[in-house]
Chain A
């Protein structure tokens, strides 16, 4: 997400390969002389999967089981999961995450691609200034203005509300969304708009009929990037969502970990369940997740 424009660094073939190399993978044969690559791969898999293995272990052990966390439980104990299911607060967390993430994405996409359309199509000097101001907001760390945001939000009674969360988190994500859409719309030939305009279409009609239908791929990128960020957001959620019924997944997990009882088994179980939705989604749609990261970073 670098503040630069008009530099295409990756040629189209390169991107094709990045997207499709899953399909190509089967063609590569196993070769014995690649043994060192498999050794390194194995090492990487261990380093990266180890923490997941450990938390799974902890979640499957009872409170009294003090064997090493490295050891798989000799007898699997499901009590931690039963406890989490019975209290049910993780499901409230998932519901809240769905509502907040859903509304943020919806508003960011509508507001963001409208703004991008204007900035991409009307490149006046004024809009150049507007554009670079919007982009410079990407460098602002939300936490540095926490004091300002918090005092305003509590004045208008927006704490512990869905709409307050949507307003706050949405505004932080908006610059990235506008950035992605502006780059994409700039690459759509303007002759299409002009042809429609000659046929008598208004700006709104051009936007909805010509531009919107072409934004599918970049919208997937926006949904993934913003979605993961908002879904896992912690700082602002923690200070703004103080009602128990408003907690997001991350906040529910935090409650378990900071409880005085030191019930690590229960905390681990709730963490496992809380991680599951995104991890599963990622495993199924991973090429879109990875492509989204690449697009947002390089296509500047």
Chain B
């Protein structure tokens, strides 16, 4: 009787499963289906194209550059956020008056929509009257058109996203560091380990779960990057800063190439899935071996 009652529990997840089937699984299948067609996004006629959309992607220069940018946004942001986040966590783990104020302020930008943050940063990097150029002029340099240069813009976008969201890595690492039992560190001190060695051989291995959470969280966030690009450059100059995400909406809504946009969507869906799975497996192995 008990068993029967337990299996009846499954009714409880039916609403959730139906909701996700209807609004995630079905749209996903729909997107895959549409990726085989040429379609403008609103009319009734779709032309079956087989896998042409997927093939023409790789001769589309903007697609290739947005693929490259997506990888840069994903990996560069992740690396910067881990290094600075961990440094901030170690710093805030030392005792000094006012450290909670610092933590509060570093976490603050996460409350602001990335789109709005992009607009605020536009005030900084604008050519005329931009804050950065004002500082450059004050230091005696000449103004530079930051957002008129593709490479500079990509670097700026990486910086802004890392700056805004480093607070997440910081608090994850802080919790991880505070979770290291004090007795382990004391034992290491007794054995004669100094600051760096204690960090390297006691704290760091115990931080592995925090590292894996933070890396995967930031990686997915960076690979999905959208809002800040829309606000700051909208893919420009000359479509050099598009990520796959912004390029999808650009193709769908601006170029009315819904089928092609769907194909890019399917591609980046697979890309993000594969990358995050790889990291998941890697970290799981790493944690087991420790």
Query: Which A residues contact B (CB, under 8 angstroms)?
Result: 1-4, 7, 9-11, 13-15, 17-18, 21-22, 25, 28-31, 34, 37-38, 40-41, 44-45, 47-49, 51-52, 54-55, 58, 66, 68-70, 111-112, 114-115, 117-119, 121-122, 124, 126-127, 130, 134, 136-137, 139-141, 143-152, 167-168, 170-172, 174-175, 178, 197, 203, 207, 228, 231-232, 234-235, 239, 249-250, 253-254, 257, 264, 267-268, 271, 274-275, 278-279, 282-283, 286, 289-290, 293-294, 297-298, 300
Contact = CB atoms under 8 A, between A and B. Distances in A.
B100 interface: yes
A9 B176 contact: yes
A122 B209 contact: no
5 contacts: A14-B179, A54-B131, A130-B13, A141-B245, A147-B31
Contact of B95 (A28, A45, A114, A151): A28
A171 B19 contact: yes
B110 A228 contact: yes
Contacts of B10: 118, 122, 126-127
A174 B16 contact: yes
A63 to B, nearest CB: 12
Interface stretch (B56-64, B145-153, B189-197, B246-254): B246-254
Interface string B210-224: 101110110010011
Interface in B58-112: 88, 91, 94-112
Nearest to B273: A139
Interface SS of B by simple majority: helix
B178 interface: yes
Contact of B249 (A45, A122, A143): A143
A226 B8 CA distance: 29
Contacts of A122: 6-7, 9-10
A203 B12 contact: yes
B155 to A, nearest CB: 17
Given A44-B105, A228-B111, A115 B99 contact: no
B172 A294 contact: yes
Nearest to B25: A137
B226 interface: yes
Contact of B116 (A48, A134, A250): A250
Nearest to A48: B105
Contacts of A235: 226-227, 245, 249
A126 B6 CA distance: 13
B131 A69 contact: yes
B123 interface: yes
A111 B27 contact: no
A149 B112 CA distance: 26
A247 B108 CA distance: 25
Contact of B119 (A111, A119, A139, A253): A253
A112 B116 contact: no
What's the interface size class on B, roughly?
35 or more
A146 B265 contact: yes
Given A2-B213, A144-B265, A146-B252, A130 B27 contact: no
B239 to A, nearest CB: 17
Interface centre among B91, B119, B180 (most CB of A within 10 A): B119
B96 A28 contact: yes
B111 A293 contact: no
A298 B106 CA distance: 20
Contacts of B276: 139
B266 interface: yes
Interface centre among B41, B95, B115, B175 (most CB of A within 10 A): B175
A293 B114 CA distance: 17
A292 B224 CA distance: 22
B158 interface: no
B4 to A, nearest CB: 11
B119 A148 contact: no
Nearest to B280: A3
Nearest to A233: B113
Given A45-B102, A147-B252, A141 B12 contact: no
B120 A151 contact: no
A48 B104 CA distance: 10
B47 interface: no
Contacts of A2: 212-213, 216-217, 280, 283
B81 to A, nearest CB: 13
